[in-house]
Structure 1
């Protein structure tokens, strides 16, 4: 038996319940993980609400990230062994697998080694954010040393990962936040500049920072009509990568008459996790950064698995700076 979070209808955090469920042994190509920590992501909140691109099939579980140890292997899994410390990356549909539980079965293709010395809480805070940041900024965005990158809504887990990723390769991160209360945290995280958008005009400030040129790349989870403002801050020949939809209003293409030399596209992390070679490069980059300390996820707060509804409420409050993680308690093994 395992303890797993499930829900039977769309709704608020109150629909999430922790249940005792039977868990089948891992099938061919699958791995059973004894979970120690779980990353909480905006995608899971949207999945629970019914606003995600994927609609849940009830009863549904959820969760994209976890860290723990391998407990059992399905047939054909040869790159792992029982007892290995591992992380789970978002490389599956939440209608097929989920990580909110004390034991979960996931595809072996979504299981990656955890570097020595990296705690389960740290490992659970890594993969959604850092694969998204690496995939967008470097693998797809082509960011180079010395380039300026605009990171909007930067106080979230992905935003902080993008700041650190840019800094690791020698690029210059310009972060935005609406609240002056989060400015120092963004500077501490490695942002070279922080624009408080409730107090400053974004395009004007970015032009000042970049000596009139604008940024080479803008990385945005908000979307909506605000992309027109972002376009004003991007250099000729630059790119706008939108990876979220926090603003539910329609997202226009930036005004073609004003911004003719601008590439605009949506980015999804699944482009990386669904392509083995791209995922291999991303995992190598992130694990190297974790090992040398240049990448260090910021964990704002931890919750127990039994407090999953409170974890989701905290996510919805937007009060966090960094990642929310749930920890999992296990009964001592019988001697």
Structure 2
């Protein structure tokens, strides 16, 4: 089979395709014939910044073709999506049964990788903010794979006003089509009327402006891998709070919540309340181009690899 790897850290140019044997599922594992792979910013950052090269994992979707010992719920022939912690940029990949969810009839593998993992992060971050009907919301990286779902979910959960923050105002038309009320560039001096809560996927130097955009008593949920620091005084002066969110912790410690969110996402999509968008589809040979799109923050919605 074919898969993408890298042997040294760097930009998208370090990615290369190799031929290897199809893996064998171990206890609790599913072997999936991969039909779609979701490309994410954390994986792109890992290639450029992490220490030793490691497998390119992430979101995959496809058909189960074999199962390991102890698997009880996902049999060969099932179509599933889930998170792969090994080599996910591949024609065949292994995922643990606990990380897999069934793709509903009528939904494609591309639909699944555009909706489920990014949607779980968006919905989890939103729940961490404890939104109340009638509040106003801020979403940074609003046109990203997670962000474009978060702006829609905020509205589903009762937000009266949704403010989208982006790197470039050329993304405004896309976000207007998703029902946001205002779009602001990161570089703007102010971000307009303060909001009740914010969902920040960027971190770094953007943490300060995101915190400043909150009304007194506002809540900022930080779920970025981009780091960053804030001053305690900036919290105290407005009685604001910052809440950290990590989807892997929910999956490991409260799998019943994780599973409930997955079902909720498919229900929203089936009802038309949530519309996942795909920016572009690339082959494994063009994985470097897919990473370039993500690294340049040029995507409108999800970037997908098709083996």
Same fold (TM over 0.5): yes
Cα deviation for residue 324 of structure 1 reads 0.5
Q: Which residue of 1 aligns with 2:203?
A: 223
Cα deviation for residue 200 of structure 1 reads 5.8
Cα deviation for residue 322 of structure 1 reads 1.1
**Contact between 1:227 and 1:254, CA under 8 Å: does it hold in 2?**
no
Q: Which residue of 1 aligns with 2:23?
A: 24
**Larger mean Cα displacement after TM superposition, 25-34 or 313-322:** 313-322
Q: Which residue of 2 aligns with 1:161?
A: 149
Give 5+ residue unaligned stretches, structure 2: none
Q: Which residue of 2 aligns with 1:98?
A: 87
Alignment TM-score, normalising by the size of structure 2: 0.92
Question: 1:259-278 CA distances to partner (integer Å, 9 max, x unpaired)?
Answer: 34111132222122223112
Q: Does 1:66 align with 2:60?
A: yes
**Contact between 1:176 and 1:195, CA under 8 Å: does it hold in 2?**
yes
Cα deviation for residue 8 of structure 1 reads 1.7
For residues 255-266 of structure 1, the aligned pairs below 5 Å read: 255-256=233-234, 259-266=237-244
User: Partners of 2:100 and 2:225 in 1: how far apart?
Assistant: 28
Cα deviation for residue 50 of structure 1 reads 2.5
Cα deviation for residue 229 of structure 1 reads 2.8
Question: 1:280-321 CA distances to partner (integer Å, 9 max, x unpaired)?
Answer: 121111121122222221111110112111111222222211
Q: Which residue of 2 aligns with 1:239?
A: 219
Cα deviation for residue 163 of structure 1 reads 0.7
For residues 254-293 of structure 1, the aligned pairs below 5 Å read: 255-256=233-234, 259-274=237-252, 275-293=254-272
Q: Which residue of 2 aligns with 1:211?
A: none
Q: Which residue of 2 aligns with 1:193?
A: 182
Q: Which residue of 2 aligns with 1:252?
A: 230
Q: 2:126 aligns with which of 129, 137, 155?
A: 137
For residues 80-99 of structure 1, the aligned pairs below 5 Å read: 80-89=74-83, 94=85, 97-99=86-88
2:243 partner SS: strand
**Contact between 1:40 and 1:63, CA under 8 Å: does it hold in 2?**
no
Cα deviation for residue 226 of structure 1 reads 3.6
Summarize the Cα distance change of 1:257–1:70 in structure 2 as closer, same or farther, 3 Å threshold: closer
Summarize the Cα distance change of 1:317–1:168 in structure 2 as closer, same or farther, 3 Å threshold: same
Q: 1:128 aligns with which of 117, 120, 130?
A: 117
Cα deviation for residue 258 of structure 1 reads 5.5
**Larger mean Cα displacement after TM superposition, 29-38 or 19-28:** 19-28
**Contact between 1:224 and 1:252, CA under 8 Å: does it hold in 2?**
no
Cα deviation for residue 194 of structure 1 reads 2.1
**Contact between 2:215 and 2:238, CA under 8 Å: does it hold in 1?**
no
Summarize the Cα distance change of 1:22–1:216 in structure 2 as closer, same or farther, 3 Å threshold: same
User: Partners of 1:221 and 1:176 in 2: how far apart?
Assistant: 10
Q: How many residues align?
A: 305
User: Partners of 2:284 and 2:6 in 1: how far apart?
Assistant: 14
User: Partners of 1:180 and 1:232 in 2: how far apart?
Assistant: 20
Q: Does 1:313 align with 2:302?
A: no
Give 5+ residue unaligned stretches, structure 1: 207-213, 329-335
User: Partners of 1:245 and 1:25 in 2: how far apart?
Assistant: 32
Q: Does 1:150 align with 2:138?
A: yes
Q: Which residue of 2 aligns with 1:46?
A: 45
Alignment TM-score, normalising by the size of structure 1: 0.85
C-alpha RMSD of matched pairs (Å):
2.0
User: Partners of 1:154 and 1:123 in 2: how far apart?
Assistant: 20
**Contact between 1:183 and 1:196, CA under 8 Å: does it hold in 2?**
no
Cα deviation for residue 130 of structure 1 reads 0.7
Cα deviation for residue 14 of structure 1 reads 2.0
**Larger mean Cα displacement after TM superposition, 29-38 or 296-305:** 296-305
